[in-house]
Amino acid sequence: MTTGIVLGADMEKSAMQTSALSPSHKPNNTSNTGMPWWDARKTLVLLSFLGLTVAYMVRVCLSITIVAIVKRNVTIDISDNDTCPVPDDAIKDTEAGGDYEWDGQTQTILLGAFFYGYTVSNFPGGRVAEYFGPRLTVGLGILLPSVLTLLSPLCIYTSPVLFIVLRVLEGLTQGVTFPAMHFMMSAWIPPKDKAKYWSLQGSGMQIGTVVAMSVGGWLCSTTFLGGWPSVFYVFGGLGVIWAIPWFLLIHDLPEHHPRISDAELQYILEHRRYVKREKVVAIPWRHIATSQPFWAIMASSFCYNFSFYTLLTELPTYFNKILHFDMSTNGLSSALPYIVQCLAAVSWGMFVDILQKRNVLSVKTVRKLSTSLALYSSAACLIGMMWVNCDPTVAMVVMCLAVGLIGPIGSGSPLSEQDIAPNLAGTLKGLTNTLGSATGFVAPAVTGAITSGNQTVSAWNTVFVISAVFNLIFGTIYVIFGTDKVQPWNDSKPKKVRF
């Protein structure tokens, strides 16, 4: 087994000294800090953003296309009194839709199948990134599921069981992406810059969802490449194209980048903390298992992901079955909450970055403030859905707030693994994201158990309240026990760390 990515204290010292000995060397078009206006980190963030965009387009495409794949009379039940009135133009279209009579249980399994594989590969993905490098791990974690997505129509034509297997494989190959990406960030982005850069990079999740819901809905209504199959072909093809610049331009460590400026390299090495990778750090299982900060991150990951995946996988179904939106013509309506989330995430990240630069907020305060704002405000909006009833305008506004206001969490707890153990950021993100990813099939299962055969307003209100309660309880655990302090077990041989 390889000894991992080589980066030690001596290398850091040598790189800093080299930079200090050549102050006159500055690339063209430099800012007043000595760094070029477009530096290596911006390339990393841009391609990571595009990668996450493609990853979420691949992940969400089934939630969009399933409305066009399955016969409408199988998926819509308007017989109950506790339902919203169906518009006149929708009544005549109740027999429309696709050719496949997948029952509710089959649809639930299909919507959750991706996350069965995704959950399994998170922890191995983080560890693989620590051994073989995040560049390769992230690249394959987006390329391979994109290739598999191109095969989706063929599997659907053949058998729902084959399609379930394909979705599991897609999740299995994509599950390595997030832990590897966070491991890469721990070496490239200093702690005080993480809120800004991750808010930009992580917005790819929302943009990918927006594109999937709006463009995907439109593609389903066209005859291009057969209608709904075009969603899989287009989204999968974009993932294959993305891999080309990623493998050409991205490097595991700033020390290994052939085109990074001296000024940028020196800045990274001076401001990142406790990153030593002479060898892969052994996993200190006992220390992790007894670490309050780690379990606080785990609690936040569970509640955030449960709410997120409930809405991500089920929101198109809610809009279609309860509010009776035609997804082929109103895809942008279902994507609107994620547009709000993207704007909230980026603007909040920029805002707290300014406050950090002025020493108004500490890293710890930013993490807890961002997490509590996101989880508590989203919970309040989800509870507010109980009073929306069937008003489509109010429902859209409240749902936009519920999904949108969770955006600031991108500057909060999802970055905490890098804070408490940067040398084990891949492993820790793999562990926390394993639990979080499990909610990707738990959430559809819970929603299906509540709403299957009971597509009513009150049933969906129950779904929203469960997510809100989880946000309140587990979010509070993070606020109490979360920290940004690097833990003693960050190194191979745990030692006392003074602050």
Full pLDDT tens readout for the chain, 499 residues: 443 443 333 334 333 433 333 333 344 444 444 566 778 889 999 999 999 999 999 988 887 788 788 876 544 444 455 666 666 555 444 445 567 777 777 877 887 788 888 888 888 888 888 888 889 999 999 999 999 999 999 998 888 889 999 999 999 999 889 888 888 888 888 888 888 888 888 888 888 888 887 888 788 878 888 788 999 999 999 999 999 999 999 988 888 888 888 888 888 888 776 665 556 667 888 999 999 999 999 999 898 888 887 876 677 677 777 777 665 555 566 678 888 888 998 899 899 988 888 888 898 999 999 999 999 998 998 898 888 777 777 888 888 888 888 889 988 888 898 888 888 888 898 898 888 878 877 887 888 888 776 778 788 888 888 989 999 999 999 999 988 888 888 875 544 433 3
What's the rounded Cα separation, in Å, for the pair 239 and 145? 8
| CATH number of the domain located at residue range(s) 40-262+281-490 in this protein | 1.20.1250.20
Contact 51, 57 (CB under 8 A): no
What's the rounded Cα separation, in Å, for the pair 162 and 174? 18
Q: Contacts by 10-15 with C-beta closer than 8 Å and gap 24+?
A: 11/255, 12/255, 12/269, 15/255, 15/265, 15/266, 15/269
All structural domains of the chain with their residue ranges: 40-262+281-490
Identify the residue whose tokens are 């992901």: 305
Q: Give pLDDT, residue 498.
A: 39
Q: Give pLDDT, residue 136.
A: 93
- Closest CA relative to residue 236, chosen from 157, 323, 156, 170: 170
Looking at residue 358, the DSSP 8-state letter turns out to be: T
Q: Cα 456–458–464 angle (5° rounding)? A: 110
Residues 6+ apart with CB under 8 A from 364: 482, 483, 484, 485
Contact 235, 148 (CB under 8 A): no
- Closest CA relative to residue 226, chosen from 169, 156, 145, 314: 156
Q: Give pLDDT, residue 275.
A: 61
Q: Give pLDDT, residue 3.
A: 39
DSSP state string for 124-184: HHHHHHHHH-HHHHHHHHHHHHHHHHHTHHHHHHH-HHHHHHHHHHHHHHHTTHHHHHHHH
What's the rounded Cα separation, in Å, for the pair 263 and 240? 34
Q: Give pLDDT, residue 92.
A: 47
Identify the residue whose tokens are 């587990």: 474
Q: Give pLDDT, residue 77.
A: 47
Termini Cα distance of the chain: 35
449 token code pair: 């158990």
- Closest CA relative to residue 266, chosen from 4, 43, 26, 5: 26
What's the rounded Cα separation, in Å, for the pair 205 and 50? 9
59 token code pair: 């992940």
Q: Give pLDDT, residue 48.
A: 93
What's the rounded Cα separation, in Å, for the pair 215 and 213? 6
Contact 82, 53 (CB under 8 A): no
What's the rounded Cα separation, in Å, for the pair 293 and 296? 5
